[in-house]
Structure 1
Amino acid sequence: MRRAPRPPNPAHGTTTLTISTLNPPAMLPAALLPSPAGRLLAPAPLRCHSPTQQSSTAAARGLILRGAGSPVVKRVPDGGGWLLWHQSGARVALATSPDGLRWSAPVSPDPLLPSEDWWAFDTAAARPSDVLLISGPAASSRRFPSSAVYWLYYTGSTDGRFGSAFPEADVPALPGLAISQDGRNWARIEGDHHTGALLGVGEEGEEPRGWEARCIAAPKVVMHADGDLRMYYHSFDEMSRRHAIGLARSRDGIRWTKIGKVLEGGRAGSFDECGVRHGHVVRDRAAGRYVMVYDGVDADGKVSIGMAVSEDGLKGWRRSSEMPVLCPSEEGEGWDGAGVGSPYLVQMDGAYDWRLYYMGVGRNGEASIGMAYSEGQALQKFEKCDAVLM
């Protein structure tokens, strides 16, 4: 029998949920709206530079939110605005926007802080990985509590180094789940692992130990159909000495079964020859296939963003290009000059219009969030947009 979740700590911005009927929000939840003093501006047209256009803001191109990382971006249905969960130090924070470009200051209190339970997997740091908005037919499914509109999949660690932008490969990390009615107050759901995580790594002495002996990080979840959820995560393979992306499947979003690797590092000399990680998967409405954006690490440790595609999202993943779709800025002092990663892909209303939210790291080690845009059917290259800072 699965253990009942332990009562959450109110100081962590969580609360116990009562399972009851709740209509999915048609507009941005009132609890998430900024105060009058921080009122957001009206939506404005999106402006992107062409690749050759010079601009005085070139060093800040793409930048939308400073001092933040690991973006998880969702559009609220029926014109209800945009939500951005992100990493802020060791905790999860939330910002709001009318257009996905100009973002409010973080909503108070922070949605999720590290756990204070000594036995938990997330006592040092928690960073968001993905959010499912359970609404419409899915909300009435017997598999999901209809009161839990938001399902936050996150990565937790007992090592303080996990709060850095690009943690070292030996930092332990495991996936967790919290659910919420309003996107701000969360209740942790305890998984089957003894630490409360949804999945665990192979323990010492276990045979076979598997390739995920170091960590299971960045759980990105796709609801393929009712009773068919897929989690894409990364780990560090000690045999190949490279990060790889794996897959797990679930019927209820809580109990998961590992399937195996779906994408590994590329050939010698490629932008991702030293490994792939942070894979975010979206089903392309126009092409009917699955698209994955991911971190690629080259031989010098530089991180760029690559893309792969699959017909069914389970197997046959292939790179859409041997070149990255987004690279660090060439300006030495640029906000994303040291690396770009943690990509999050959003398909817009137009079938061939996409936004790519990502984390950039500057030479000073500061992580910030930016956005790039792609138009047309190729989906091969993204242009960084004008900086939009509030």
Structure 2
Amino acid sequence: MYYYGRCSHSWHSGVNPALLSSGRIGVACSQNGMNWIRTPGPLPDGAVMDPRDGVDSAFDSVHVGCSDVIFHDNMWWMFYFAGSLEATVLQTGRKLTGMRLRTGLAKSCNNGIEGFDDHRLNEPVLDVGEPGNWDEMMVAWARVVPPSSSHPFRHWLMTYASMCTQMQTTAAPSFCIGAAISHDGHNWSKLGKVLEQGEPGNWDEAGVSRRHVIFVDGQFLMFYEGTNRKGTHAIGLAISKDGVKWVKDKQGFGDEPGGPIFSPRTDQPEAWDSGSVACPHVVTMGDSFWLYYVGYDSTKKISAFGVACSDGKDIRNFKRITML
């Protein structure tokens, strides 16, 4: 399991972190998928990737966060998002440094624990959009599906999140999801927005962002993070036949498109994940699916990882696994 975080109140070079939890990337290992132990990497304090040091102009010089890691061509490929010293001035007058996020790629030919710096590309593989485009603020939290004989998509497929351009107005910010394709995993062509926020009043009306895409029984499934206007995050489901045209699921337990299929325990304020659930990652475990997620307490300031298990192959019914 790769994760990102930081141990101080500032990013590299003393930059204010602007509410993002990224900074450095670490790894944890498990024998059973439930009990995880942090595994020291080669960098200070055990990280496996740090912001690029000594190159202030680099796109990843201030902070990094892991987006996705896959094993391909006998190497571990890490797609990550990163910010630089570039400043963005919003129309509200607020100045943010490190918030223009780009997607990078690093590879490891060892076990994926001993670091990724030996094969780290100097330039992003996916850049922000031109001024005025919907993704001019960021292209972040990329998830990648490589070509496979198990699904009909013959290209690499990437989905990513961005703040829509209305972020640069006085309107409330909103996240949308875009897609890109590639023939080699290095050179990407954007396809535009593929999933947007819900209608006013819906559970995901404030935006859709981090997600995980898998291929099951002839269709792509996107488990995605949605947010309401109160700032509560939950996890929904969207479905696609080709990985490009997505439709929010309407068969879940929620009354609205997308679900949600997994929600915070708001009725249990003392629960560690009573505030929000976010950042889904789904894996097949035997005859069921395991949903890994980040949970936040009622203050939405303290986070931890959790896991829930589906009822057999039911992708809309997950129950939390309680650690004894």
TM-score range, shorter-chain basis? Answer: 0.7 to 0.9
Shift of 1:293: 0.7
Q: Which amino acid aligns with 1:200?
A: D
Q: Any idea what SS the aligned residue of 2:242 has?
A: coil
Contact kept in structure 1, 2:2 and 2:25, CA below 8 Å? yes
Structure 2 residue 109 is the aligned partner of structure 1 residue 176: no
Structure 2 residue 291 is the aligned partner of structure 1 residue 356: yes
Structure 2 residue 65 is the aligned partner of structure 1 residue 133: no
Q: Identify the match of residue 93 of structure 1 among 23, 26, 32.
A: 26
Shift of 1:121: 1.6
Separation in structure 2 between the aligned mates of residue 188 and residue 219 of structure 1, nearest angstrom: 19
Which aligned pairs between 1:74-93 and structure 2 lie closer than 5 A?
Answer: 84-89=1-6, 90-93=23-26
TM-score in terms of structure 1 length: 0.66
Which residue of structure 1 lines up, in the alignment, with residue 89 of structure 2? Answer: none
Shift of 1:279: 2.0
Tell which structure's C-alpha radius of gyration is larger. 1
Question: Aligned residues: percent identity?
Answer: 30
With a CA cutoff of 8 Å and minimum separation of 6, indicate the structure with the bigger relative contact order.
1
Q: Any idea what SS the aligned residue of 1:112 has?
A: coil
Separation in structure 1 between the aligned mates of residue 30 and residue 235 of structure 2, nearest angstrom: 25
Contact kept in structure 2, 1:340 and 1:358, CA below 8 Å? yes
Shift of 1:159: 6.8
Which aligned pairs between 1:207-218 and structure 2 lie closer than 5 A?
Answer: 209-218=132-141
Which residue of structure 2 lines up, in the alignment, with residue 301 of structure 1? Answer: 231
Which aligned pairs between 1:81-230 and structure 2 lie closer than 5 A?
Answer: 84-89=1-6, 90-109=23-42, 110-116=47-53, 117-134=55-72, 139=73, 146=74, 149-158=75-84, 171-181=99-109, 182-184=111-113, 185-186=115-116, 187-190=118-121, 196-204=123-131, 209-225=132-148, 228-230=155-157
For each residue in 1:267-309, what CA deviation from the matched residue of structure 2 results, as whole angstroms up to 9, or x when unmatched? 222110111001210001xx21110011101121111111111
Alignment root-mean-square deviation, CA: 2.3
Shift of 1:319: 2.3
Which residue of structure 1 lines up, in the alignment, with residue 162 of structure 2? Answer: 235
Separation in structure 1 between the aligned mates of residue 269 and residue 294 of structure 2, nearest angstrom: 17
Shift of 1:106: 3.0
Which residue of structure 2 lines up, in the alignment, with residue 373 of structure 1? Answer: 309
Separation in structure 2 between the aligned mates of residue 387 and residue 88 of structure 1, nearest angstrom: 23
Q: Which amino acid aligns with 1:103?
A: W
Query: What number of residue pairs does the alignment pair up?
Result: 274
| Structure 2 residue runs without a partner (length 5+) | 7-22, 87-95, 168-172
Shift of 1:190: 2.3
| Structure 1 residue runs without a partner (length 5+) | 1-83, 140-145, 161-167
Separation in structure 1 between the aligned mates of residue 119 and residue 174 of structure 2, nearest angstrom: 31
Structure 2 residue 193 is the aligned partner of structure 1 residue 265: no
TM-score in terms of structure 2 length: 0.78
Q: Which amino acid aligns with 2:306?
A: G
Separation in structure 1 between the aligned mates of residue 35 and residue 294 of structure 2, nearest angstrom: 16
Q: Which amino acid aligns with 2:233?
A: V
Contact kept in structure 2, 1:159 and 1:172, CA below 8 Å? no
Separation in structure 2 between the aligned mates of residue 239 and residue 365 of structure 1, nearest angstrom: 26
Q: Any idea what SS the aligned residue of 1:383 has?
A: strand
Write 1 or 2 for the structure with the bigger share of strand. 2
Separation in structure 1 between the aligned mates of residue 316 and residue 197 of structure 2, nearest angstrom: 19
Shift of 1:372: 0.7
Contact kept in structure 2, 1:155 and 1:217, CA below 8 Å? yes
Contact kept in structure 1, 2:101 and 2:128, CA below 8 Å? no
Q: Which amino acid aligns with 1:345?
A: V
Q: Which amino acid aligns with 1:179?
A: K
Query: Structure 1 runs of 4+ off > 4 angstroms?
Result: none
